[in-house]
Structure 1
Amino acid sequence: MLVFEFKAYGNKSQFTAVDEAIRTAQFVRNSCLRYWTENKKIDKYDLNKYCAVLASEFPFADALNSQARQASAERAWSAISRFYENCKKGISGKKGYPQFQKNCRSVEYKSTGWKLATDRKSIKFTDKKGIGKLKLKGTRDLHFYSCSQIKRVRLVKRASGVYVQFCIDVDRCKCGCLMNRDFNAARNILSRGLGTVGHTGTFALNASNALGDESSTFAGEILHQQVMS
């Protein structure tokens, strides 16, 4: 998973809406954590269902995208499962009992609640929080990746401003090497180019078709390392 970060630009009201979305995400996480303390036998699916209960009871929670609420519930469950694992492993000392969050600085969206512009220079958040369209500035080029590869979008608040993070799913081979669209495009171009070497005018994707005739030599000459096209 690759994470690309861009600086977000908008007006004051938009950044106020970002703050509200982050506070709502914190509220959902802490509410799910409290729900777990009162019902220890629940699992992560119960927390996801509880998000719908929160949305029905609190209008400001309903204004946040449903998958963003689920992502906040997943954060709560991540802390809970880590605590369970530490207990099972018998780690000495503190086991990392889940704590209520007091200063959340990010909200995470999944595959809905946002729309990336065609030119990849802006992003629009479509839930009821009123964030709207934010301009993006950064050094990464999102044109190499399709929107279907973007699995998560985070709004992160720092002292220097608000940033948008894109979590991008890329191909990974068995050795662990990351293969993104840059690599795949280069490989396809190379394959197409080799498909015409020695056979001008042919169109083949198999590099074995690049084998052509031996290079020209004088009659009677024998070269042990004859060059092949």
Structure 2
Amino acid sequence: MIVLEFKAYGKPQQFSAIDEAVRTVQFIRNKAIRYWMDNRGTGQNDLQKLCAQLAQEFPFAAELNSMARQASAERAWSTISRFYENCKKGIPGKKGFPSFKKNNRSVEYKTSGWKLDENRKVITFTDKKGIGRLKLKGTRDLHFYPIEQIKRIRLVKRADGYYVQFCIRAERTEFVEPSGRAIGLDVGLKEFYTDSNGETVGNPRHLRKSESRLKQSQRNVSRRKKGGQNRAKARVVLGKRHLKISRQRQDFAVKLARCVIQSNDLVAYEDLRIRNMVRNHS
């Protein structure tokens, strides 16, 4: 499965409609979790039936596409099934008991509820939430993939705007000439990793470098009055700075991993729990 992401452009009322759809998805997911808690032996099919009942009971839930409601129930069931698996494996500590969502940021459509224009630069959402036509801007070209290969579409809300993700069923293959080299990696806290050849890659420490600016942005949020517009603006600035750090980390890790994979035929590493290493005072 390939995920292609595009920035979405529209009017303020369209973004408000996206927020309403995201809140509806969160409502359905939390209702499914509550139904599972109150009824022993609840299965995935029971949660799918619950979506139809919620659509009949609540008008705002009926406005959302039926497959988007089902996708929300699937999210709830994936949380429940992961909890069951952790219990069966006997993982020490917390098992990830399903909890209620408080700040959902995405809504997922399947194969209905949307229509892509022929130029593949505009997408129209056809349910009753009123999202309408959104312009797409990105570096990838959707003409390479038929519409039938697009299995899911997500609308994601971030600090710097709204994005549309296309989940495409496709296989990516790369042909690399064998190098005859094998390498072992030891991931650490001080250094990003040390390989079997004795070479080390330093930790860029993106969070540490931006810590002072984050503290300043956090103080600006704390000084503003709760519920005011200035506090909302300060929260947006803080969110954008956190988002930048997250993207820096991901970009560094992806590029470094790609370099390691292309340079070696075999990569061996130790499966460690970094969270437990941080807790250990030694």
TM-score scaled by length of structure 1: 0.75
1:159 aligns with 2:159: yes
1-side partners of 2:23 and 2:17: how far apart?
Answer: 10
Unaligned runs of 5+ in 2: 176-282
In structure 2, relative to structure 1, the CA distance for the partners of 1:178 and 1:101 (3 Å cut) is farther
Deviations 1:164-217 (A, max 9, x none): 000000147xxxx379xxxxxxxxxxxxxxxxxxxxxxxxxxxxxxxxxxxxxx
Once residues 118 and 34 of structure 1 are traced to their aligned partners in structure 2, the CA distance between those partners, rounded to angstroms, is 42
Q: Secondary structure at the match of 1:135?
A: strand
Question: Are the counterparts in 2 of residues 170 and 178 from structure 1 also a CA contact under 8 Å?
Answer: no
Distance in 1 (alpha carbons) for counterparts of 2:143 and 2:40: 45
Counterpart residue identity of residue 129, structure 1? K
**CA 1:13 to 1:53, structure 2 compared with 1: closer, same or farther past 3 Å?**
same
SS of residue in 2 equivalent to 1:163: strand
Q: CA deviation at 1:93?
A: 1.1
Provide the rounded CA distance (Å) in 1 between the counterparts of 2:56 and 2:144.
40
Task: Quote the residue 2:15 is aligned against.
Answer: 15
Secondary structure of the residue that 1:112 maps to in structure 2? Answer: coil
In the alignment, the residues of structure 1 paired with residue 137 and residue 174 of structure 2 have an alpha-carbon distance, to the nearest angstrom, of 25
Q: Which whole-Å CA distance do the structure 2 matches of 1:40 and 1:76 have between them?
A: 15
Name the counterpart of 1:85: 85
Corresponding residue for 1:37?
A: 37
Q: Distance in 2 between matches of 1:96 and 1:58?
A: 30
What amino acid maps onto 1:10 in structure 2?
A: G
Q: CA–CA distance in 1 between the matches of 2:147 and 2:101?
A: 31
What's the counterpart of residue 59 of structure 1? 59
Using a 3 Å threshold, how does the CA distance of structure 1 residues 178 and 52 change in structure 2: closer, same or farther? farther
Residue type matched to 1:107 in 2?
A: V
Distance 2:3 2:124 in 1: 19
How many residues align? The count is: 175
1:98 aligned partner = 98
Partner of 1:117: 117
Query: What SS is found at the alignment partner of 1:103?
Result: coil
CA distance in 1, matches of 2:174, 2:60: 40
**2-structure distance, mates of 1:107, 1:37:** 23
Residues 1:95 and 1:16: Cα distance change in structure 2 (over 3 Å): same
SS of match in other structure, 1:69:
helix
Per-residue deviation at 1:90? 1.0
CA separation in 2, counterparts of 1:160 and 1:93?
36
The aligned counterpart of 1:150 is 150
1:92 Cα offset (Å) = 1.3
RMSD of aligned alpha carbons: 1.2
1:132 aligns with 2:132: yes
Q: Deviations over 1:96-137 (max 9, x none)?
A: 000100000000000000000100010000000000000000
**8 Å Cα contact 1:6/1:164 also seen in 2:** yes
Aligned equivalent of 1:211? none
Cα displacement (A) at 1:91: 1.1
Q: Is the 8 A contact 1:171 1:178 kept in 2?
A: no
Residue 201 of structure 2 aligns with which residue? Answer: none
Structure 1 stretches of 4+ with a deviation exceeding 4 A read none
Q: Which has the higher helix share?
A: 2
Query: How high is the TM-score relative to the length of structure 2?
Result: 0.61
